[in-house]
Amino acid sequence: MKLAELQRRMLADIMLPRTPGTAGYIKPNDRLTAGERLEIYHRQYWSRLVDSLRDDFPGLLKLLGPRSFQKLALAYLTEYPSRSFTLRDLGQSLPGWLARHPEYVGPALDMVQLEWAHIETWDAAASQPLGPEDLAAFTPDLPLALQPHLRLLKLSYPVDDVRLGTLSARAVKKRLPGTLYLATHRVDGDVFYRRLEEGEFRLLHRLAKGYPLLRALRGLHARPEDLQRWFAAWAELGWLTGTSARSPGQRKTAPSSP
C-alpha cells in the first residue's frame, strides 16, 4: 500500500463517528491491538472538534448542559464534518442544522444564531468610519454603507443576557417568546452586543441591503427625533462607513485533520 493511500484510509477511519474496530493497515504491538492504536487518534480528533465547538458556543453549552451539548455536537459533526483548514468554520452550518431539529429550537436556536454572529463580527473586515465632514456632505439619495462586521439579529429570547452572564439558562428557558432586536459589532478588537428598537433595526436592515436613505425610510414612520438619536448613536459607534475595508481579525487556524 502506498503512503498516500494509507493516509487516506486512516483519515477516513478517524473521521467516522465510530472507529471500525479493526485496522488491517496498522500493526499491533505488545500492549495494544491495531484497533486500539487507531482509537487513540480517533478520540483525539473527535475531542478536538467537540472542544472547538465548546469554545465557540459557550452560551449553547450553558443552555444544554455538558451531556446534551456533547450529544448535539456529535450529531452535528457526523452530518457536517470538518471541511476547512481552520476550525473557525466548524460551526458555520450549526444554525441551519439546529433549525431543522425541533428538539433544539427555542432559546438554543437563538443562542446559536447570536454566537455565530459573534464569530463573524469578531473576524470580519472593517471600513473607515465616516467622520462629521463626511456626514455633512451626505445626501439622502446616496447609499449609506455600514460596517462589514455589523450583524443584525431578530430573536425571540434574551440570549445575549445568558451569554453575558446576567441571566441564567434556567431563567431564559422559563421566558415566553417575544421579539428582540440586536446588533453585534466590534470596537477595538472586542465584540459587543447592542439592543435595537424595531424601527432602528428595520432601517439598519434596509441600509445593509444598500438602499438609499430615502428609499430605506419609506413606510418606516420614524419620528425625526428618533432618526436623529439613531444616527448619532451609529456615528459614535462607527457603524456608518465608506466602502474600503481593512484586514480582518485573527482566526483559529488549527488544522481540521490530525
> Which segments in the chain show pLDDT lower than 70?
19-23, 141-143, 242-258
What pLDDT was estimated at residue 1?
72
Digit-coded pLDDT (tens) for 21-76: 666 777 778 888 877 788 888 889 899 999 999 999 999 999 999 999 999 999 99
What pLDDT was estimated at residue 258?
29
Paired sense of beta strands 190-196 and 180-187, if any: antiparallel
What pLDDT was estimated at residue 11?
79
Domain extents in the chain: 57-243
For residues 110 and 187, give the distance between their C-alpha atoms in angstroms, rounded to a whole number: 23
Q: CB neighbours of 232 closer than 8 A, spacing ≥ 6?
A: none
User: What residues are paired with 245 via a beta bridge?
Assistant: 127
Digit-coded pLDDT (tens) for 209-229: 988 888 899 999 899 999 999
Cell 481540521 belongs to 256
| 250 HSE (CA, 13 A, CB side) | 5
Contact 63/173 with Cβ under 8 angstroms?
Answer: yes
